[in-house]
Structure 1
Amino acid sequence: MTDQQLTTRAKVERSMTRRRRAEMRFRAYGVMSIAFGLLCLVVLFSNILGQGLSTFRQTVLEVNLHIDGDALGISRQSSEAEISAADYETLLKNFMREKAGATSRDDRRLAGTLVSVGAPWQIRDAVLANTDVIGDHLRLEIIMDDDVDQWYKHDRDIGQPGRLKDNQIKWLESWIADGSLHTRFNTTFFVNGDSREPELAGIRGAIAGSLLTMLVTFLLSFPIGVAAAIYLEEFAPRNRMTEIVEININNLAAVPSITFGLLGLAIFIGLFGVARSTPLVGGLVLTLMTLPTIIISGRAAIKAVPPSIREAALGLGASRMQMVFHHVLPLALPGMLTGTIIGMAQALGETAPLLMVGMIAFVVDVPNFISDPATVLPVQIFLWSDSPERAFTERTSGAIIVLLAFLIVMNTAAVWLRRRLERRW
């Protein structure tokens, strides 16, 4: 082997060594990027779970309350209106003062503030459910104030008083010792609507609003998106106008979501007079935002159908319409449904466009129809995150956990549906 051949071989080996090192560095950078992304997700979810899991536990006081009919001015024969109008607040305050053994004026006031402002309604509902307790004793788990709830679940373990006074902590410690003060599963968080009081605030209204809004979005976006995808892929002529439409659809998929909110505010509310803060207007806005995703995924699903299916259908005498709706569409439908579910999951987590159409309103009642005032889960999270009370921070994280659960379920359903229904060629 000549010297020139040895020199050339050495150069090639050095070049190959550099290439292998560059490839190894590139792989290392990729692994590091993935690891960093996973680390960020772990930190994010750990923070959310650490703050939010305690939301699903609520501090309550187990009481054996004497329902004094004479003091309340009611009897077992009283009407529902009379029982509802009785002064349960005074009854509860007197009970709390006696249970705490409060004698001074300040102590009596402090004892009355340990329970939630919604506790008298708990007693009223229990009495209405069973009027036989009038004149007898009622065993009930009374919801405690949010300051007590935060102290019991967080501050007590680290020896911090939170916002409670020394006498209040002494009473609470004695009730913990006798087992009357404890935590239970927070059903209030799932059965109540929004409230100014953190211990009474729930996500039922937001979930109902989200479901109604998603229903409107699905009923509008799916048929329109599928029809548009079929037309553009199978029937539209290939000319400049079609290219402009396709380019605009692709561009709309990347438009910031708040732009759709401004569009909905100008058209649906300003022009057509649709009521603000309703699932109807929210669904219309999210339909505009979701349509590009459904159309793009629908066209991709139609393109994935082998040309032989079309040729076989046409060869057997089927019309173009029959070929599309009897053969192509059934095979493309799994991909279309997958794209629709992913688009709906994206819409479920949107906040900005709904803020523009007034769904930021404080809504306590649970909506029953698409024209009722409502809010949605992401907007509810936004409202709670802006509240100064410490307990709302906990409920914000709890609502985020519920929203993430919905999103995971929807994306899992999309993957399962695609694998279940797709056909391999």
Structure 2
Amino acid sequence: MASTSFNPPASATRADVAAALARRRKFAEWRFKAYGMVAIAISLGALAILFTTIVRNGYPAFVQSSIKLDVFFDPAEIDPSGTQKPEDIRNANYPKLAQAALYKLIGLESSDRKVRRDANQMLSQSVDIQLRDMVMKNPALIGTTQPVWVLARDEIDALLKGSISRDTPEDRRKVNDRQIGWADKLVADGRMVKRFNTGLFVNGASSDAETAGLGVALIGSFFMMATVLLLAVPLGVAAAIYLQELAPKNRFTDLIEVNINNLAAVPSIVFGLLGLAVFINFAGLPRSASLVGGLVLTLMTLPTIIIATRAAVAAVPPSIREAALGVGASRVQTIFHHVLPLAMPGILTGTIIGLAKALGETAPLLMIGMVAFVIDYPTSPLDSATALPVQVYMWATEAERGFIERTAAATLVLLGFMVVMNAVAIVLRQRFMRKW
């Protein structure tokens, strides 16, 4: 087409025309490459902006502001009868003990209720459970004074991280000037510091941002991935081998292959509706259970594993099969001793990619009720739980500022698992790959 639109001057020689056409082809090729480079640059730029935003919002959640209090475990408050009854210890007013220690640190002597309320709001509500668990575990603490690191309130933590500007007028801040002065004093005295937030990985659900964690979501995701691994991998590989190597070629097997390919393109929420109808309403399995989530993700992952395994098996040269059959091996021996080991890199890659895809699914888990507010760790796949992508969704709907950084931090953790799983797929592929 380029040569037909090119009109050389009448005096041009054939060599000049050929050189001009060559230059036009080179320019067209350079222009096409430039389009590709611009497209890649735009994609990388968008990806960089996305990751930069997530990291900038998420990294503050990996540290948490804590206050070191010298708590006096007052026997009159904890064990007034002196008998160390569990119910007395459990029902003691532990926030009062923490507040008394805080008043002493900041030099608060005022009895004004508003001033004391401002001071009390510097401590996280988790101090009650923290001190109670300490005494329940070791009643010998009663009557002693112990240094205890307790979490600061979410608003105080946001102030120290710079999320709340001191220049904002006081009536528009969630932290008043009095609390800012106390916070500065505690920081100057070394009594309030930012420490690594282990609670992000071990705590369960909480309505307070400073105590909310991914512990339940991590265990729930582990149970679900274990279910998918135990069910989807053997079933998917077996189905792929049968369809590719053993199944007769007829209309029935063609129908199965078409349906498998169609299932791979079905929206994930449809699998959630299927799980809700079959596993919960019909089979009666508990709602919000990791087992149900694993079964739903198994159905969703099977087509991916089957298609990837069939492609890996089909890529094995026919000469391998012919050689094995030529020396007397049966078809089953040929498959398991020769074809399957050679197809293993592709099978492993497809399997891990399918698992990584399942790990990041949210819609089907929402349909089966895995948005439960779960505080305690699930001890079995039948217990109520949630999952990492669902936890991201739940935190993203919260209005408090502290949940914004936790949403980004949970996204970073999820992306970390994705990167690790894909890296494992690449390593395994290189480890088992055979060159012909």
The yes-or-no answer on 1:27 pairing with 2:33 is yes
Work out the CA distance in 1 between the residues paired with 2:104 and 2:177.
Answer: 18
Query: Displacement, 1:325?
Result: 1.7
Q: Distance in 1 between matches of 2:320 and 2:84?
A: 75
Quick check: 2:77–2:92 contact (8 Å CA) kept in 1?
Answer: no
Return the offset for 1:244: 2.2
2: CA distance between counterparts of 1:412 and 1:76?
Answer: 59
Please state whether the residue corresponding to 1:154 is helix, strand or coil: coil
**CA offsets 1:385-405 (integer angstroms, 9 cap, x no match):** 000111000100010011011
| 1:298 Cα deviation after fit | 0.3
Structure 2 counterpart of 1:63, from 50, 66, 69: 69
Using the alignment, how far apart are the partners of 1:232 and 1:378 within structure 2?
Answer: 34
Match of residue 109, structure 1, among 109, 117, 123: 117
What residue number does 1:219 align with?
A: 230
d(CA) in 1 for partners of 2:19, 2:253: 54
Determine if contact 2:345/2:429 at 8 Å carries over to the other structure.
yes
Question: 1:146 and 2:154 equivalent?
Answer: yes
CA displacement at 1:8 relative to structure 2? 4.2
Residue 368 (structure 1) shift = 1.5
Are 1:421 and 2:432 an aligned pair? yes
CA contact (8 A) 1:75 1:134 kept: no
Matched, 1:179 2:190: yes
In the alignment, which of 221, 224, 229 is matched to residue 240 of structure 2? 229
Once the two structures are superposed, what CA deviation does each residue of 1:309-330 show, in whole Å capped at 9, x if it has no partner?
A: 2112111111111111222112
Q: Name 1:204's counterpart in structure 2.
A: 215
Deviation at 1:181, TM superposition (A): 1.0
**Alignment partner, residue 132 of structure 1:** 140
Q: How does 1:2-401 map to 2 (within 5 A)?
A: 7-73=13-79, 78-100=84-106, 101=108, 102-155=110-163, 159-160=167-168, 162-401=173-412
Name which of structure 1's ranges 57-66 and 362-371 shifts more when overlaid on structure 2: 362-371
The CA RMSD over aligned residues, in Å, is 2.0
Cα deviation for residue 272 of structure 1 reads: 2.0
1:206-240 deviations in whole A, cap 9, x for unaligned? 00000101111111110110011101110111222
The residue that corresponds to 2:3 in the other structure is none
In structure 2, how many angstroms separate the alpha carbons of the residues matched to 1:277 and 1:298?
31
Contact preservation (8 Å) 2:69, 2:101: no
Residue 353 of structure 1 and its aligned partner are, at CA, apart by 1.0
Give the TM-score normalised by structure 2.
0.92
Label 1:65 to 1:241 Cα distance change in 2 as closer, same or farther (>3 A). Answer: same
Tell me whether 330-339 or 347-356 shows the greater mean CA deviation.
330-339
Q: Which amino acid aligns with 1:256?
A: P
- Give the match for residue 418 of structure 2: 407
Q: How many residues align?
A: 423
Distance in 2 of aligned mates of 1:104 and 1:135: 28
Aligned-residue offset at 1:188: 1.0
Contact 1:221 1:291 in 2 (8 A): yes
* Closer/same/farther in 2, CA of residues 88 and 241 from structure 1, 3 Å limit: same
Question: Identity over the aligned pairs, expressed in percent?
Answer: 48
Give the aligned residue type for 1:244.
Answer: L
Specify every segment of 5 or more residues in structure 2 that has no aligned partner in the other structure, as ranges. Answer: 1-8
Compare 174-183 and 155-164 and name the one that shifted more.
155-164
Say if 1:33 and 1:354 are closer, same or farther in 2 by CA, change over 3 A: same
Instruction: State the partner residue of 2:5.
Output: none
Contact 1:76 1:134 (8 Å CA) reproduced: no
Check whether the contact 1:221–1:287 (CA below 8 A) recurs between aligned residues.
Answer: yes
Deviation (angstroms), 1:350: 0.5
Deviates more, 1:33-42 or 1:246-255: 246-255
Give the Cα–Cα distance (whole angstroms) in 1 for the partners of residues 82 and 111 of structure 2: 33
SS, match of residue 161 in structure 2: helix
Find the aligned partners of 1:164 and 1:156 in 2 and give their Cα distance: 8
SS class of match (2:66): strand
Q: Distance in 2 between matches of 1:419 and 1:273?
A: 44
Provide Cα deviations, 1:282-318, integer angstroms capped at 9, x if missing partner.
Answer: 1111111111110111011111222222112111111
| Bigger shift: residues 360-369 or 150-159 | 150-159
Q: Give the stretch that moved more between structures: 298-307 or 77-86.
A: 77-86
3-state SS, counterpart of residue 374 of structure 1? coil
Alignment TM-score, normalising by the size of structure 1: 0.95
